[in-house]
């Protein structure tokens, strides 16, 4: 079939055809031939309940009949107001909600909000951001600058703004002469030195709980909390990205609460509408919000907005989704599923080309290496991403790698039987692919 679609993060010369998905039901995606695949990546990490969840579909239909969209410029709508109240109750220390369309735009909002905060306070030199190496915050110019993954964004480096990048502790690749704890303390010492020696820093920005697209790097216990305290000590805004890690993905509704950290600004997205419609939020503390108040002629108001900001259809879907979290006690389900995933870690780790398995909640990264002793990542020349995808299809599962890292990020509500099917299929996939490349 001839297609006019240009696919994301895909070398189009290597893919002359794609499975055309026409239906989703539960945890499964169905193509036009009637074949099905278990959605092992929650349709890009955002699906909560599986596909075609009746309560969500009905909420969308009901809202469609009332109000499809209404601008939030000098107007408001009932669903945007209702969802904002829910989000403020959900997220400790947050005061106001700014709506956008997806994770990239929500983090772009965060950066602009932090910059203008200092401008409004008369501290115009506060223009720099400190971020963690291998963090990822989106694909816009601003968010590529914040979350610079070299393999993704080096082509655009000439147009990105400069950020100060701090080393993030990794449990897999530890420098010689360091224990894991030593390395963590070393990273924290370097971060404090950066914050104390630079008087032009607007904010410290990091993913909450774990770095996801940068390689599934799970933070050590207490690491995030210590950074939170350092930001407060040195009067630097603390911005957290919970786009991929919040709302249950790592086992907590609000990950920064579990991490005992207190942001000034935090972004949520992906699972906010259960993966049914585009919507993201940037929440700000009262301290941040109050800095934008004044008379119109003061020009202190926030200079940002999107056409579909606060879209009532998306907000209505999010309201129903968050109600379902309580109705079905999804966090209890996540805890059980996470324990099952953890019980399979050793088995996966023993596979010939698996160097490391990193797991928390409903997130697992399986790093594939060509040499276990040297921890050498499998070369892109091996086209491992395509081999994994094609082999996984034979086992009726949809997997996508981040380079040489296989991601398991299933819908939160996946059943035990389907989770077992996913893990078994992933193990068989890696086994069969390893025989072809070793």
**Mean per-residue pLDDT for 404-409?**
97
Gap between the Cα atoms of 132 and 120, Å rounded:
27
- 340-378 per-position pLDDT tens digit: 999 999 999 999 999 999 999 999 999 999 999 999 999
CA dihedral 329, 220, 341, 211 (to 10 degrees): 80
Options 2.30.30.280, 3.90.245.10, 3.40.50.300, 3.90.1150.10; which CATH number does 329-437 get?
3.90.1150.10
What's 348's DSSP letter? H
- pLDDT of 42 over the 70 cut: yes
What's 101's DSSP letter? S
Among candidates 402, 429, 368, 383, which has minimal Cα distance to 9? Answer: 402
- pLDDT of 234 over the 80 cut: yes
**Mean per-residue pLDDT for 270-292?**
98
pLDDT score at 254: 98
- 316-342 per-position pLDDT tens digit: 999 999 999 999 999 999 999 999 999
Look up residue 159 and give its two tokens: 């147009």
pLDDT score at 436: 84
- Positive or negative: CA dihedral 145, 147, 148, 153: negative
Options 3.40.640.10, 1.10.150.80, 3.40.50.300, 2.60.40.10; which CATH number does 58-327 get?
3.40.640.10
- Number of neighbours of residue 216 by Cβ within 10 angstroms: 25
Categorize the per-residue pLDDT at 437 as very low, low, confident or very high, splitting at 50, 70 and 90: confident
Are the C-beta atoms of 136 and 149 separated by less than 8 Å? yes
* CATH 3.90.1150.10 location in the chain: 329-437
Gap between the Cα atoms of 141 and 157, Å rounded:
9
**Mean per-residue pLDDT for 123-136?**
97
Helices 384-394 and 416-437, interaxial angle, to 10°? 130
Q: Decide the pairing of beta strands 28-31 and 36-39.
A: antiparallel
Q: Mean pLDDT across the chain, nearest whole number? A: 96
> Which pTM value belongs to this model?
0.97
**Mean per-residue pLDDT for 120-135?**
97
pLDDT score at 1: 62
What does the DSSP assignment read for 112-149?
HHHHHHHHHTT-TT--EEEEETT----SSHHHHHHS--
* CATH 3.40.640.10 location in the chain: 58-327
Burial 310-328 (b: 16+ CB within 10 A, else e): bbbbbbbbbbbbbebbeee
- pLDDT of 8 over the 80 cut: yes
pLDDT score at 329: 98
């Amino acid at each position: 079939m001839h297609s006019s679609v240009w696919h994301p993060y895909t070398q189009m010369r290597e893919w002359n055809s794609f499975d055309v998905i026409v239906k989703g039901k539960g945890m499964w995606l169905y193509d036009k031939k009637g074949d099905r695949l278990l959605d092992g990546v929650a349709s890009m990490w955002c699906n909560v309940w599986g596909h075609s969840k009746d309560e969500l579909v009905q909420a969308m239909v009901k809202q469609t009949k009332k109000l499809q969209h209404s601008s939030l410029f000098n107007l408001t709508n009932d669903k945007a107001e209702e969802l904002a109240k829910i989000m403020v109750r959900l997220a400790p220390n947050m005061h106001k909600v700014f709506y956008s369309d997806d994770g990239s735009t929500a983090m772009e909002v965060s950066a602009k909000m932090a910059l203008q905060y200092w401008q409004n306070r008369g501290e115009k030199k506060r223009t720099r951001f400190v971020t963690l190496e291998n963090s990822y915050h989106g694909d816009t110019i601003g968010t590529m600058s914040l979350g610079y993954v070299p393999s993704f964004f080096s082509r655009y480096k000439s147009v990105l703004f400069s950020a100060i990048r701090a080393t993030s502790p990794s449990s897999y690749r530890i420098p010689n002469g360091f224990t894991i704890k030593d390395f963590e303390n070393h990273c924290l010492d370097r971060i404090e030195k950066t914050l104390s020696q630079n008087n032009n820093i607007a904010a410290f920005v990091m993913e909450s709980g774990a770095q996801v697209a940068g390689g599934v790097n799970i933070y050590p216990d207490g690491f995030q909390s210590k950074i939170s305290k350092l930001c407060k000590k040195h009067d630097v805004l603390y911005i957290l990205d919970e786009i991929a890690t919040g709302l249950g993905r790592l086992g907590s509704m609000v990950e920064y609460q579990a991490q005992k950290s207190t942001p000034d600004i935090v972004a949520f997205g992906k699972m906010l509408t259960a993966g049914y419609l585009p919507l993201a939020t940037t929440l700000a503390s009262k301290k941040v919000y109050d800095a934008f108040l004044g008379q119109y002629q003061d020009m202190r108001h926030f200079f940002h907005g999107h056409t579909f900001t606060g879209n009532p259809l998306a907000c209505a879907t999010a309201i129903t989704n968050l109600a379902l979290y309580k109705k079905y006690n999804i966090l209890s389900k996540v805890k059980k599923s996470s324990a099952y995933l953890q019980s399979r870690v050793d088995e996966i780790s023993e596979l010939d080309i698996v160097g490391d398995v990193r797991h928390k909640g409903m997130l697992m990264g399986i790093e594939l290496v060509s040499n276990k002793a040297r921890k050498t990542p499998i070369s892109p020349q091996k086209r491992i991403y395509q081999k994994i995808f094609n082999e996984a299809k034979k086992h009726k599962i949809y997997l996508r790698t981040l380079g040489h890292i296989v991601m398991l990020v299933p819908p939160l509500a996946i059943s035990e039987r389907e989770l077992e099917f996913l893990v078994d299929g992933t193990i068989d996939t890696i086994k069969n692919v390893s025989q072809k490349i070793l």
